[in-house]
Homo-oligomer: A and B are copies of this chain.
Amino acid sequence: MAREYGRRALLKHIRRAGRIPRIELADQTGISRATVTTITAELLQNGLIEEIDRPGGESDTRRGRPRVDLKIRGAARLVAGVKISNRKLSLVLLDFEGTQLATWETSIERDALPCAGMAEAITRAVAALARTAGRSIRDISGVGVGIAGIVQAAEGVVYWSPSLTERNVDFGAILSRRLERQVFIDNDANLVAVAEKTFGLGQNHSDFIVVTIESGVGMGLVIGGELYRGTRGCGAEFGHTKVHLDGALCRCGQRGCLEAYVADYALLREAMTVPGDDPTAPPAARIEALLSAARTGDATARSIVGRAGRMFALGLANLVNIFDPELIILAGEQMRFDHLYADEVIAAMRNSIVQIDKAPPEVVIHKWGDLMWARGAAAYALDNVSELALAGLDDNAA
């Protein structure tokens, strides 16, 4: 057990450090030098890490050999990350070090597909991704998948997703059979949180919240450095927290959900009152016109957009009152959600939290594209593939 703990701690530490000499690994983790030597020898032998000459490279005068750092061995494993979004698949291929080897984007024909059709589309896309890097699906150890909706990550079950026509499906198992690879599936906002923890703004934080804004509102929760998923795998449903008793009708069928005030469809429900709104225009164009009317001072448009902002602030304040995180990351793809990121929204949130003699949590805005979501899915696959690699090490030495 102690050996397993040491392997996991050291591999994680080497991954975070990038390059690190053995002696610092011992100092920084508190694991004895002798144990560090034993375990790193085992990781080297199994090809999960490698030695690399120290830049500047003075010699170790006592032993007369060049000083070396340890690093993750990129070639050890390959993982793919897939983000399923509205009519689009975005993919990245990472090596074991986390280096991005290839990306791929492809459209899908409908908003929602049956599981079999979605598995087929993903399999074709993963194959295309691998080809781009001169590899095949067989070279990939694991595939991470981020999907909107309610997902039980541990079992790979999708209870509901706007991207699938079926409910309560073992989509992880279906996709794994089709790909003939290990599949790790999770709610997409959770994987954004994984990406922020692994590559992004959350790297130096142990307790933070990621709120994602697309057509819906998502949330990922990192507590004590780990993603928190809830006990049925369906926590962090920020978009369906209630901000008004018996309030506006939500797509989920309930009343007063945050999404029923801030999502696109919520704004469109009221947009027809705004002068110049064209109900026959595509939704995105109508939203754009509404936001533009609000910016140029139309009172009705301002009322619609303003309430969405105040409701969003109220929802964020509730998260702070419950969690007291160090940091809130507002992550979204599109400039057009600027009204929810506005200074007055953040200020309203700060005024609605419990006031103490300490600074409120930091709020940062991180705009990124679908490929960053896919990197989150790949990072999740990387975590799982690392665990499997460690579990596979021969335990006789222990």
Binding site for B on A (CB under 8 A): 1-2, 5-6, 29-32, 35, 150, 152, 159-160, 167-168, 206-207, 219, 221, 223-224, 226, 228-238, 240-245, 252-254, 256, 307, 310-311, 314, 317-319, 321-326, 351-352, 354-358, 361
Contacts and interface: CB of A to CB of B under 8 A. Distances in A.
Contact of A231 (B234, B252, B361): B361
A241 B168 contact: no
Q: How many copies does the complex hold?
A: 2
A354 B237 contact: yes
A253 B159 CA distance: 41
B234 A324 contact: yes
A322 B237 contact: yes
Contacts of A358: 152, 159, 232, 234
A324 B229 CA distance: 8
A219 B325 CA distance: 16
Nearest to A348: B245
A35 B167 CA distance: 49
A231 B322 contact: no
A327 to B, nearest CB: 9
A160 to B, nearest CB: 7
A319 B242 CA distance: 10
A230 B356 contact: no
A241 B1 contact: no
A318 B354 contact: no
| Residue picked from A150, A206, A241, A314, most chain B C-beta under 10 Å | A241
Per DSSP, chain A at the interface is: loop
A245 B311 contact: yes
27 contacts: A1-B31, A2-B2, A2-B6, A2-B35, A150-B354, A150-B356, A152-B358, A159-B356, A168-B356, A206-B231, A223-B223, A223-B224, A224-B224, A231-B324, A231-B326, A235-B321, A236-B324, A237-B322, A240-B321, A241-B317, A241-B321, A243-B243, A243-B245, A244-B245, A245-B310, A254-B352, A322-B322
A70 B375 CA distance: 50
Return the 9 tightest CB-CB contacts between A and B, nearest first.
A230-B324, A235-B324, A237-B321, A159-B356, A241-B318, A2-B2, A231-B326, A168-B357, A1-B30
Nearest to A228: B223
B241 A242 contact: no
Nearest to A235: B324
B354 A230 contact: no
Given A167-B357, A168-B357, A241 B322 contact: yes
Contacts of A242: 243, 314, 317-318, 352
Contact of A230 (B5, B254, B310, B323): B323
Contacts of A32: 1
A160 B351 CA distance: 17
Contacts of A244: 244-245
A237 B325 CA distance: 12
B235 A323 contact: yes
A132 B191 CA distance: 56
Nearest to A360: B232
